[in-house]
Amino acid sequence: MDTTLQDPLVGQLLDGRYRIDARIAVGGMATVYRAVDTRLDRVLALKVMHPALATDVAFVERFIREAKSVALLAHPNVVAVFDQGAQGAYVYLAMEYVAGCTLRDVLRERGALQPRAALDILEPVLAALGAAHRAGFVHRDMKPENVLIGDDGRVKVADFGLVRAVGTATDTTGSLLGTVSYLAPEQIEQGTADTRSDVYACGVVLYEMLTGGKPHAGDTAAQVIYQHLNQDVPAPSAVVPGLAAGLDRLVAAATARSPELRPHDAVAMLAESRAERSALTEEQLDAVPPQALAEGRDGAEDRTSVIPRVIPADQGTAHHTSRLEMPPPLPPERTGRRSRLAGRGRRGAVAVLVAVLVFLGAGAGVWYINSGQFTRVPSLLGQTQSAAERRLSDEGLDVKGVERAYSDTVERGTVISSDPGSGERIRGNDAVRLVISRGPEIVKVPDVGGMTLADARRELKKSGLAPGMVTREFSAETGRGEVVRTDPETGAERHPDSAVALVVSKGSPVDVPGVTGMGVDEARAALEEAGLKAEVLPVRVHSPEDEGGVARQSPASGAEAAEGDTVELTVSKGPRMIDVPDVTGKDVDEARSTLEEAGFEVEVDRPFLSFSDKVARQSTEGGDQAPEGSTITIRTKGL
């Protein structure tokens, strides 16, 4: 049954301007329609907030404020926002309409994708998120459903409806907004998200594109959450053997459980993706994945939802923890018994608590008011952000926000100060704001010359800079795979997080020897002596070379290659036999032209004292066959 027929908005003119033609999709917070802007006569997508949510004034104000912010992201890979308005209970956004499908549709239909296709989708997504990150926003709900693939092949990121400013609190109600399968551990544990949370989600999406399945699966959202908190995302090659190690590294970097170990934003991850792609061979990029891994499921973990954050029972004490700990699921025959025992335990605990309060009377209330409500902020200076947040959690305190500031004395990524400060008195359920060091306001590009690419990237990150684009060139002085130089150069001063391009050595150049006409074994030996490898292509071709000899090579003779590079060899099937034209009696010039057009070389033999320009005879008679490219000798008449 067509459910759009039951939608009261289909066929209506919203706000006197937008004619709603059909319903496209329904989400947890809004419904998306295909509509026509009757003023500009263009098709667009209309995202209408559910009326139940539209009664929440704070929610609507945030929806409008964030929509205006996203409208500033003029990027070709971001779904554009044209207009915002309201009519009665309907609050809407008018957005760009992308004719095509979502990445989720592609994964359901095709399962795992080839690495080249996966990277071709990932990189525009990262470009879009990178623009948002550099503009000061995080998406917070990256998933295949929010990646649109147009009929023209363009990739666009949609649904910035959960977007928030970087550094602002993303959870103030004790709930997490997002999709379970793609939530970063810090979103689950602390309800906070920054640019690295989007990077984590992109890593999960890349894993799903490469394998056809999610890294963490379960029958319930709770089981998936538990795995996010306690298990690393496995290497894609563990599921799809033969995938390149570079793809494993890219997924591992993006999905590190500790946000400090991930690329700091989508721009940095895009640089890493391009670097890993450049190191892959054509065969690795076009590896065909097993299609049987496609899940095609629409489980509870696929939907954007509001998930209650788990607050431990001992929250008011001095040593509670906010980490969600989930025991493995019990067999069905034991779950009922556990529920009954838990119920008895709770009733017993309540009875004991009542008895204690009756015994202590007013004294207990006096103690709680004067002492139990307060604690002191622990010393956090010099601790990493995650360590400081754990320490506050252990003391029963929350983090109400994180700011970042430059510091010449406090190490990058560690706490400069807090508000309230260390040792200050604070209510036991209050929150603390952290100030994290960005390192010095100006940093110098370190000398990474001669390092491996991996070591150079680590050194740049350690110095507070971002590894950028990687290019490769020949170098006689620097070993193959080592860094030749950086751009900007060593010692240059830059702001923290600036990208530094790396030039990596391909080693000393090798002149490719000419092996055309040689036998395969002889050609292989000549190439290996020059420090190169030989690959014989399976297809053979006709050529003037003898059968079994090398007909052509790539790269060609005299070209430059790196030591260890491969030269492709095409083997000859021998020359093709073709008919020889009869040119006797013709002028020499006409005869030469006829024979050359037929595919032969021509030599002219003029006898001594010959004054004729007519062909008297030819070395191969007309009508006979000769090898293509062979030489035909024509002789003129003598005296």
Q: Say if 625 falls within a structural domain.
A: yes
Q: Say if 336 falls within a structural domain.
A: no
DSSP 482: B
pLDDT digits (tens, 9 = 90+) for 564-573: 889 999 999 9
Q: pLDDT grade, residue 455 (50/70/90)?
A: very high
DSSP 117: H
Q: Say if 326 falls within a structural domain.
A: no
What is the reported pLDDT for 225?
A: 87
DSSP 330: P
What is the reported pLDDT for 404?
A: 86
CA-to-CA separations, 49 to 5, 36, 89, 94, 364, in angstroms, rounded: 19, 18, 9, 12, 49
Burial 554-589 (b: 16+ CB within 10 A, else e): eeeeeeebbeebebebbbbebbeeeebbebeebebe
Residues 298 and 213 in one domain: yes
Q: Which residue has the higher pLDDT, 549 or 73?
A: 549
Domain boundary among 97, 118, 138: 97
Concatenated DSSP letters of 199-238: HHHHHHHHHHHHHSS-SS--SSHHHHHHHHHHSPPPPHHH
Q: DSSP E strands: which ranges in 242-323? A: 304-308
Cis peptide before 236 (omega within 30 of 0): no
pLDDT digits (tens, 9 = 90+) for 91-102: 899 999 998 889
Q: pLDDT grade, residue 87 (50/70/90)?
A: confident
Residues 168 and 228 in one domain: yes
Q: Say if 248 falls within a structural domain.
A: yes
CATH code (residue 71): 3.30.200.20
What is the reported pLDDT for 307?
A: 40
Domain boundary among 458, 488, 505: 505
What is the reported pLDDT for 66?
A: 65
Residues 91 and 204 in one domain: no
Number of domains in the chain: 6
pLDDT digits (tens, 9 = 90+) for 326-337: 333 333 333 333
**Residue from 529, 533, 535, 531 nearest 550 by CA:** 535
Catalytically annotated residue among 21, 141, 152, 582: 141
Q: Say if 353 falls within a structural domain.
A: no
Q: pLDDT grade, residue 223 (50/70/90)?
A: confident
Handedness of CA 38, 43, 47, 50 (dihedral sign): positive
Contacts of 462 (CB under 8 A, 6+ apart): none
Residues 403 and 449 in one domain: no
Q: pLDDT grade, residue 234 (50/70/90)?
A: very high
* CB contact at 8 A, 353 and 345: no
* CB contact at 8 A, 512 and 532: yes
Q: Say if 333 falls within a structural domain.
A: no
CA-to-CA separations, 110 to 105, 113, 437, in angstroms, rounded: 9, 7, 45
Q: Which helix or strand (DSSP H or E) is residue 188 part of?
A: helix 185-190
Residues 133 and 272 in one domain: yes
Rounded to the nearest integer, the mean pLDDT of the chain is: 80
Residues 46 and 108 in one domain: no
Q: Say if 320 falls within a structural domain.
A: no
Residues 151 and 5 in one domain: no
The amino acid that residue 316 corresponds to is: G
Q: Which residue has the higher pLDDT, 193 or 611?
A: 193
* CB contact at 8 A, 178 and 162: yes
Which tokens hold the place of 178? 């997002």
Q: pLDDT grade, residue 114 (50/70/90)?
A: very high
141 is catalytic: yes
**Dist CA 203 CA 262 (whole Å):** 10
Residue count of the chain, please give it.
Answer: 639
Handedness of CA 615, 618, 623, 625 (dihedral sign): negative
Q: pLDDT grade, residue 576 (50/70/90)?
A: confident
Q: pLDDT grade, residue 24 (50/70/90)?
A: confident
Q: DSSP E strands: which ranges in 38-126? A: 42-49, 81-87, 90-96, 100-102
Range of the domain at 565: 509-571
Residues 88 and 175 in one domain: no
What is the reported pLDDT for 293?
A: 43
Residues 225 and 159 in one domain: yes
Residues 118 and 207 in one domain: yes
**Residue from 535, 530, 531, 536 nearest 548 by CA:** 536
Which tokens hold the place of 117? 């296709």
CATH code (residue 110): 1.10.510.10
Residues 238 and 289 in one domain: yes
Q: Say if 32 falls within a structural domain.
A: yes
CATH code (residue 613): 3.30.10.20
* Edge-to-edge order in the sheet of strand 615-618: 601-605, 631-636, 615-618
Residues 266 and 153 in one domain: yes
Neighbours of 618 (CB within 10 A): 22
Domain boundary among 555, 571, 587: 571
